[in-house]
């Protein structure tokens, strides 16, 4: 049986994740913004590799 995936909030509240983010200078809000941009850029066709390719 598969383990459920942690939410973004779960990950961002994990002490080890926070330590690495602090070390790397990553702010939680900037990470959320980046992930939202990535999410918006993924269309169903793109996720299936069906996007039209430029010639």
Q: In whole angstroms, how far apart are CA 51 and each of 27, 37, 39, 44?
A: 32, 18, 16, 9
Q: Are 13 and 31 contacting, i.e. CB atoms less than 8 angstroms apart?
A: no
Report the sign of the C-alpha dihedral through residues 22, 38, 40, 42, in that order. Answer: negative
| Model pLDDT for residues 26-35, shown as the tens digit of each residue | 999 999 999 8
Q: For the chain, what are the domain ranges? A: 9-37
Nearest-5° Cα angle at 30, 35 to 25: 120
Q: What is this structure's pTM?
A: 0.61
| Model pLDDT for residues 4-38, shown as the tens digit of each residue | 899 999 999 999 999 999 999 999 999 999 988 88
């Amino acid at each position: 049986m598969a383990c459920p995936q942690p939410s973004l909030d779960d990950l961002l509240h994990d002490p080890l994740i926070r330590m690495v983010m602090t070390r790397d200078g990553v702010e939680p809000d900037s990470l959320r913004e980046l992930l939202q941009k990535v999410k918006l850029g993924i269309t169903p066709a793109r996720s299936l590799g069906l996007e039209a390719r430029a010639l």
